[in-house]
Every structure is written in C-alpha cells, then in structure tokens.
C-alpha cells in the first residue's frame, strides 16, 4: 500500500491502525467522472459513498417550475452523498453532478455497513461526518430565513472559498437562493 494514498488523508494513520487501514482502503474503488456526468440521479437509491480526490460536484433538485436549484457543493476530500437516501434506502429527490472532471473513491452501501459495524474508528468517523453534515444543513436552513443574501454569500466565501473560485455564478446564485444578477451586484458591492 502506498504511503501517499489519497485515502490516508481521509483515514488518518493517527486515528486508524495500519491493520485497519489495510482493511479499509482496498475496499474503495477509484472512479473517474467527466464534467456533467451524474454520480446520482433523482429517483435512484444512493448506493455509494463518494470521497472526491479532485474536481468539483454539486447536488441539486428541480423546483416546481423545472429550474434546477443547487443544494450543496463538493470538492477535494469531501463526501458527495445523499445521506438520507443512503441510510434509509429511499429513492433520492436530488441529483449529484460533476461540475468538472473528477476523481472519486467509491464505497458501496454493503461494504460501508460491513466496515461501519466491524471497525470502531470507521464507525466513529462516519458518525462525525453525518452529524457535521446535519449541522451544516441546519445552519444553511436557518441562514435562509434569518440572513440577508450578502451575509449568506460571505459565509460561503469563508467556509468554502474553493467553491467561489471554481464554480459558476449561476450555481452559486441558486445555492444562495438569489438570481445571478443579485449575486453580481453583491460581489461588486463587496469588491468596492
């Protein structure tokens, strides 16, 4: 096993024993997606846990008028997943799509369950990721109600600056719940 393996950034040798890493890392499969490819389509059950090694993806839903609205962004080292579909085994309402060419490490549901129930640090890390995702979603939901669009944009700049630099304004605008023209105005305001 290579010392430089990307997944050792995810599953740190400080947290996992070498034996645990030898059980975990070979279970992942490296998958490449081209820009615009789907990792997950609406109506399907999420069967994979994806760690992004390079590139960017987004999740989105279609509103009642058929507009696609970005619900999240994923970049290097992040998990691209619909958590509720993955764990509850329900068809998803979201799509996850590559915004650039991406390299991912895929773990299927059954293997995830096997590792989750047999390796305590894997279980603990999985719980932390799930809880962190829940809190981020909760904070985003409250922000839509309590914050102005400019505050939401500044929060995104602070939390995910790599997204601002690498994702289209249209996708960022729908994520923030505003038009791309409003986003342009906010960006000009901040720059001056």
* Any domain includes 181: no
Domain range for 100 is 6-119
Residue 30 DSSP one-character state: E
What's the CA gap between 6 and 2, in Å, rounded?
9
pLDDT of residue 31: 97
Report if pTM > 0.95. no
* Any domain includes 178: no
Helix pair angle (169-176, 180-191), 10° resolution: 100
The tokens describing 67, both together, are 């507009």
* Any domain includes 190: no
Most confident of the ranges 7-16, 32-41, 120-129: 32-41
In angstroms, the Cα distances linking 56 to 50, 118, 126, 132, 191 are: 12, 31, 22, 20, 25
* Any domain includes 112: yes
pLDDT of residue 51: 95
* Any domain includes 81: yes
What's the pLDDT tens digit per position in 70-119?
999 999 999 999 999 999 999 999 999 999 999 999 999 999 999 999 99
* Any domain includes 103: yes
Q: What is the CATH number of the domain that holds 56?
A: 2.60.120.10
What's the CA gap between 74 and 51, in Å, rounded?
9
* Any domain includes 174: no
* Any domain includes 108: yes
144 band by pLDDT with thresholds 50, 70 and 90 = confident
Count of domains observed in the chain: 1
């Amino acid at each position: 096993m290579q010392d430089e393996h990307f997944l050792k950034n995810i599953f740190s040798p400080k947290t996992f024993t070498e034996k645990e890493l030898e059980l975990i890392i070979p279970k992942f499969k490296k998958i490449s997606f081209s820009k615009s490819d789907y990792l997950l389509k609406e109506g399907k059950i999420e069967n994979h846990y994806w760690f992004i090694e390079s590139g960017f993806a987004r999740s989105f839903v279609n509103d009642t008028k058929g507009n696609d609205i970005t619900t999240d962004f994923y970049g290097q080292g992040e998990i691209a997943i619909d958590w509720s579909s993955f764990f509850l085994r329900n068809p998803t309402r979201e799509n996850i799509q590559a915004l650039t060419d991406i390299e991912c490490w895929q773990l299927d549901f059954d293997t995830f369950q096997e590792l989750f129930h047999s390796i305590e640090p894997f279980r603990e890390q999985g719980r932390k990721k799930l809880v962190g995702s829940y809190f981020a979603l909760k904070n985003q939901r409250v922000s839509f109600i309590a914050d102005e669009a400019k505050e939401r944009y500044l929060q995104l700049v602070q939390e995910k600056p790599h997204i601002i630099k690498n994702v289209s304004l249209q996708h960022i605008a729908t994520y923030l719940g505003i038009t791309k023209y409003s986003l342009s105005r906010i960006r000009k305001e901040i720059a001056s």
